[in-house]
Structure 1
């Protein structure tokens, strides 16, 4: 997740110092690193969490999405809050709220408490993403200093993605998963202290106001949509609660569009979507990032839950994916300047699709890194290409005075796509696995008592709970059935995520093109920026 400022900061006077407050950059980088750690933290330990708390598939999905939802839908609003009331206050407050959330997660003895803790940490991260970027922008008034500050911010964000799987994997290898959240909570307290001591206060209240109607309606729409998708396999797609949630989502989405079209200071400027190239970029961001994060969530379930791999082994797989972007970042910057975002996005999304199809072809009993190295590296390359180019594509599609809002809007829709990834993947995979298991248990050589026990666990917790439940001799009998069903469910859903990545690649090819831009175009865009 990369948040962007929702406006273009004014040019600084020539005689201002290159960096007003060096400590501000340190604090901003530490804050965004913390926020990104929280985003990636559960990936390596989903299996341990599931076994420790005996979560259902829906609960396991909520543990991830409880952080993603507020981080996605509140980032723009917190950007306005920081501009109006002060970014330092937001930075400190966000870190402290994240610490409270991690404390709740570290002491959790139930899925509900862990989900609550994740939600609080996600709200804190929603404040940290825009505030960290805004304080660095305000503290670097010259173009050269600002470029270095933004590079430092991006590097810190990448480091958070690298640290998270190692932190959670290494801690849980020797202790309870609770200690991974506790360690992150300590880092949140350190971040709050550093921000309080080192950050210079800044604000920009002129012309900024909170869009409460837009914020409330989009939050309710997304929560209702996710509830329906995640609970569908458990409660039944035709149940009153699930069907009602989809109705609420549709009504709230309509209310959001109405609020944004009439608001004086909307969080999402709908007129941007009248530009076909920008609309294509937004659609590409939602669909493509749904495909990427959905595939990543699928991988975490495959390794941690189905294969019962250790947290550290799971962490190594995600470390390989996340490490590619920092390694090739200089190349990505050069490609963006010389080739343009279109070819990069097409190549990146195709690489992600191929990586996911390649992963699907690897048998589920293959647990070694060598068998997965190809799809992991290819996924990292594809993600790096997409991250480097996706905001540039949206910004290039609008006039210069709208580039800030375009970047912020792209960040919002990209984060919405990432939030939908685990929800849709979990729902489709679990529905497929449940259907297959129901038939397999009926045909298995089980006594009536054994069949009743297995069916009761399946009905109560779903296929993930049945796969990891301690059922003694019965567990050994049904283990091959649950493994095959889960492997089929989570394997088949990779066709969906790969298809989403291919769709995003087609959108990029049609609206942005696949041919490298000319030198004249590069010079024109360089002079415009």
Structure 2
């Protein structure tokens, strides 16, 4: 539980709260919302077209996971670094530069003709997103210092994030219906250039350089630790969990995360002040972000595989469920503002995480052969409500319990742990689902009535590309024989992934109930070091 930060809501507004300054603040919020919208578009973009990319590039299950995670890995690895850069040199300049870097990445993706080039483009765009997420949030928190303004700013940021996730499948699914998937990345690159121009023209510059410096030992340690962890989780299913590279990656993670803690505890100007984690609400928010966002994005990835790969739905058909999920938050934006201001993040987090868990279990209960929208409508809407509540409240719970000069650091930390959770979602769900599916298919081939030649072909494809490749490969009459077995195995594997994501969301709900609580105090910005407890 955390006590209310010392803030006097009845205090008179600051003398500079003129119409001109209010207008500047509004323009800054708009610029921040454009930035986070672009970053979230990039994050969600592959979801509706996973099936098309897999078939066009003949990607294996591991490559398909890397196409999504190549964007997320830099976002998780570099979030703290860019938080420091924004505090030192200005958040506006960082947003402009990050949007342009994203544009370069989308250009690489738009011209890709192989999984390797697409992964490279995604990684470059992910570097841009690593700066856009924390910098956009810090821009907004820097100009919203009263409870009402902060609630409106955070709700606007959350709504823009959801709007990006809403637009991404609509755009990618619609484009791929009429053109190649590369055009979806090309159009996003144009949006990145527009975002850079908008930030340059609209945003007010802000920074917080006091006590901040480019802590290279800490940055290198956290970057290597996160990269090693994610590499091990993603490559484990294909390389083998006991293989030398995978084991070495987990050892490297342990070594470098300890090194990071030691460096930050001794640094005169750390990139992450470890004492922030002595604030119960902040520490709990970090834990919830990792666990809860793993649950949410793992479930979303599970749904995208169900629709685009297992059921072979068209890109636009696969996009519609994601439009429903992400369309809920903009619709409930006024409610989010009111809840943040009057209720606080605790009840919102508990309700949101329970809603996400319920949505995952409900989706699991829908039979795999159900390809219509109506059977999915309930879990989709519940998922959208849960996501809107969680993202708005999670951000508020983290940035409002730290002093104003540390909101940039808090925002960057929140972005890091949120993106880490989102990166782990597809990686772990894919690892669990594909591992189980591969074992089941291997056992089923003996009973599938195949000739020795057919058995050899199926085994080779399964060994080289995994269950997804075997399910989508054009093997003539053999594909028809294998379809019932691959469909059942993949459905069972990914349904078990949904149990995992639901448990994660329920765990996050328990953390919220215990450590954040139900006091209506979560959106009052802290004013001083001693204002938190």
Q: Same fold (TM over 0.5)?
A: yes
Q: State the partner residue of 1:178.
A: 182
Q: State the partner residue of 2:16.
A: 14
Instruction: Give secondary structure in 1 for the equivalent of 2:446.
Output: helix
Q: State the partner residue of 1:160.
A: 164
| Mapping 1:252-401, distance limit 5 Å | 252-395=256-399
Q: For the Cα contact (< 8 Å) 1:338–1:517, is it kept in 2?
A: no
What is the alpha-carbon root mean square deviation over aligned residues?
Answer: 2.8
| Mapping 1:72-221, distance limit 5 Å | 72-135=76-139, 152-196=156-200, 203-221=207-225
Relative distance call for 1:72 and 1:200 in structure 2 (3 A) is: same
Scaled by the length of structure 1, the TM-score of the pair is 0.89
Q: Distance in 1 between matches of 2:144 and 2:524?
A: 26
How many residues are matched? 515
| Mapping 1:426-505, distance limit 5 Å | 426-505=430-509
Q: Deviations over 1:189-217 (max 9, x none)?
A: 23334444555655443432112222222
Q: Deviations over 1:403-448 (max 9, x none)?
A: 6644543332222111111111111111000010110112211011
Which runs of 5 or more structure 1 residues have no equivalent in the other structure? Answer: 1-10
Deviates more, 1:503-512 or 1:485-494: 503-512
Relative distance call for 1:134 and 1:49 in structure 2 (3 A) is: same
Q: For the Cα contact (< 8 Å) 1:100–1:121, is it kept in 2?
A: yes
Instruction: Give secondary structure in 1 for the equivalent of 2:332.
Output: helix
Q: Distance in 1 between matches of 2:206 and 2:511?
A: 40
Q: State the partner residue of 2:4.
A: none
**Shift in Å at residue 94 of structure 1?**
1.3
**Shift in Å at residue 282 of structure 1?**
2.2
Relative distance call for 1:465 and 1:267 in structure 2 (3 A) is: same
**Shift in Å at residue 276 of structure 1?**
4.0
Q: For the Cα contact (< 8 Å) 1:12–1:142, is it kept in 2?
A: no
Q: Distance in 2 between matches of 1:332 and 1:434?
A: 43
Q: Distance in 1 between matches of 2:350 and 2:152?
A: 29
Relative distance call for 1:382 and 1:89 in structure 2 (3 A) is: closer
Relative distance call for 1:38 and 1:374 in structure 2 (3 A) is: same
**Shift in Å at residue 147 of structure 1?**
6.9
Q: For the Cα contact (< 8 Å) 1:84–1:209, is it kept in 2?
A: yes
Which runs of 5 or more structure 2 residues have no equivalent in the other structure? Answer: 1-12
Q: Distance in 2 between matches of 1:523 and 1:100?
A: 37
Q: Deviations over 1:2-25 (max 9, x none)?
A: xxxxxxxxx975266323487655
Relative distance call for 1:288 and 1:137 in structure 2 (3 A) is: closer
Q: Is 1:45 aligned with 2:49?
A: yes
**Shift in Å at residue 134 of structure 1?**
4.5
Q: Distance in 1 between matches of 2:461 and 2:486?
A: 12
Deviates more, 1:197-206 or 1:440-449: 197-206
Q: State the partner residue of 1:36.
A: 40
